[in-house]
Amino acid sequence: MNTTPRVSVQDLHRAAAEVLRLNDLGTMTTAAPNLYPHMWSWDAAFVAIGLARINVPRAITELRTLLAAQWSTGMIPHIVFSENSTDYFPGFDRWGTESARARPSGIKSSGICQPPVHAIALRQILDRGRANGGADQEAAETFLAESFDGWLAWHRWLATVRDPDAAGLIEIHHGWESGFDNSPRWDGPYARVQAGTVPAFTRRDTLHVADTGERPDDSEYTKYLWLVQQMASVEYDDEAVRNVVDFRVRDVFFSAIMAAASDVLAALGEEIGRSSDAGELRDFARRFRDGVASTIDPLSGLARDYDILAGEWISTDTVSGFAPLVSGGGESLLAAQRKLLLGPDWMGHPGLRFPLPPSTSPSSAAFRPRTYWRGPVWPFLNLLLGWASQRDGQNEIYQALKAASLDQLADLRFGEYYEPFTGEPLGSLNQAWTAAACLEWIGPDWQVRTA
pLDDT at 200: 86
- pLDDT surpasses 80 at 102: yes
More confidently predicted of 88 and 67: 67
Catalytic residue among 181, 237, 290, 345: 181
Instruction: Say whether pTM exceeds 0.85.
Output: yes
- pLDDT surpasses 50 at 1: no
pLDDT at 450: 38
pLDDT band at 206 (very low <50, low <70, confident <90, very high): low
Kindly state the average pLDDT of the residues 139-152.
98
**b/e per residue, 278-294, with b = 16+ CB within 10 A?**
bebbbebbebbbbbbbe
- pLDDT surpasses 60 at 3: no
pLDDT band at 449 (very low <50, low <70, confident <90, very high): very low
Catalytic residue among 43, 263, 416, 419: 416
More confidently predicted of 207 and 314: 314
pLDDT at 317: 98
pLDDT at 451: 29
Mean pLDDT of the chain: 94
Kindly state the average pLDDT of the residues 111-132.
98
Kindly state the average pLDDT of the residues 423-451.
87
Segment 254-269, tens digit of pLDDT: 999 999 999 999 999 9
Segment 415-427, tens digit of pLDDT: 999 999 999 999 9
436 neighbors 51 (Cβ within 8 angstroms): yes
pLDDT at 215: 73
Give percent of the chain above pLDDT 70.
95
Does residue 416 have an active-site annotation? yes
* Secondary structure of the chain as H, E, C letters: CCCCCCCCHHHHHHHHHHHHHHCECCCCECCECCCECCEEHHHHHHHHHHHHCCCHHHHHHHHHHHHHCCCCCCCCCCEECCCCCCCCCCCHHHHCHHHCCCCCCCCCECCCCCCCCHHHHHHHHHHHHHHHCHHHHHHHHHHHHHHHHHHHHHHHHHHHHCCCCCCCCEEECCHHHHCCCCCHHHHHHHHCCCCCCCCCCCCCHHHHCCCHHHCCCHHHHHHHHHHHHHHHHCCCCHHHHHHHCCCCEEEHHHHHHHHHHHHHHHHHHHHCCCHHHHHHHHHHHHHHHHHHHCCCCCCCCCCCEEECCCCEEECCCEHHHHHHHHHCCCHHHHHHHHHHHHCCCCCCCCCCCCCCCCCECCCCCCCCCCCHHHCCECHHHHHHHHHHHHHCCCHHHHHHHHHHHHHHHHHCCCCCEECCCCCCEECCCCCHHHHHHHHHHHHHHHHCCCC
- pLDDT surpasses 90 at 150: yes
pLDDT band at 57 (very low <50, low <70, confident <90, very high): very high
Q: 91-95, 161-165, 270-274, 337-341: which has the minimum mean pLDDT?
A: 91-95
